[in-house]
Amino acid sequence: MANNLAERRLIVRVHQVWLKAAGTSYPRRAQIDPTELGRDWANCAMIDLDAILTRSRFSYVGSALRDLSSPTFERQCIGECLEGSLLELATRQVPQVVEENQALSFAGSAIHQDVNILYRAILLPLSENGTQIDGMLAAIGCREIAVDQGFRIGEADPGRRAIITGGMERPRSPN
């Protein structure tokens, strides 16, 4: 765990906890222990997938990811996220994780609580039977940026996506 504390990037720390729980298959929801994630749990969300992905529901949303202008999250569908919010930007990538059957990390810019930010996110598959993805653990970290830094707010940067395999990132093409 000391190694985990030294890592500066939230998504890497959460990924390490997920890998530990996963073993040789996808971890079950119950294997994700909020106490192991510590303060990072506030930047996490858990999603229960539905066959119609927009009807998938949040089973947990950390306090750092809640948008003060949106309604309280109580099993809210991912399709109901405020457009451009951190949660909406992250859940746009859910179909890709399901399709490719792998974790995905990505980065971009957005506005969160009326502040321009850069964010990094990771979506990590969960499975109650170890093979079929039926849930996801999401982690999203962000920092404030100055408006004049030339970023296009509200888009993921296609050049900053990576499929996560076996603890290593494999860069993705921008398409």
> What is the rounded CA–CA span in Å between residue 110 and residue 92?
13
- What is the greatest pairwise CA distance in the chain? 48
pLDDT, one tens digit per residue, over 60-109 is: 999 888 866 655 666 789 988 888 788 888 899 999 999 999 999 999 88
Residue of 12, 49, 9, 8 lying closest to 29 (CA atoms): 49
DSSP label at residue 53: G
As to burial, measured by CB atoms within 10 angstroms (0-12 exposed, 13-18 middle, 19+ buried), residue 42 is middle
Distance between CA atoms of residues 76 and 148, nearest Å: 35
Per-residue pLDDT at 2: 42
* pLDDT value, residue 24: 87
Task: Please give the pLDDT value at position 147.
Answer: 64
Q: Is 39 helix (H, G, I), strand (E, B) or coil?
A: helix
Cα angle 162-164-170, degrees, rounded to a multiple of 5: 50
Residues in the chain where the model's pLDDT stays below 50? 1-3, 153-155, 158-159, 165-175
Residue 149 confidence (pLDDT)? 53
Record the tokens describing residue 68, joined without a space: 């003060």
Q: Which structural domains are found in the chain, ordered by start?
A: 2-171 (3.30.450)
Edge-to-edge strand ranges of the sheet holding 135-144 = 57-61, 44-48, 135-144, 115-126, 103-112, 156-165, 168-171
Q: Which residue matches tokens 């985990």?
A: 4
* CA 8 to centroid of chain Cα atoms: 17
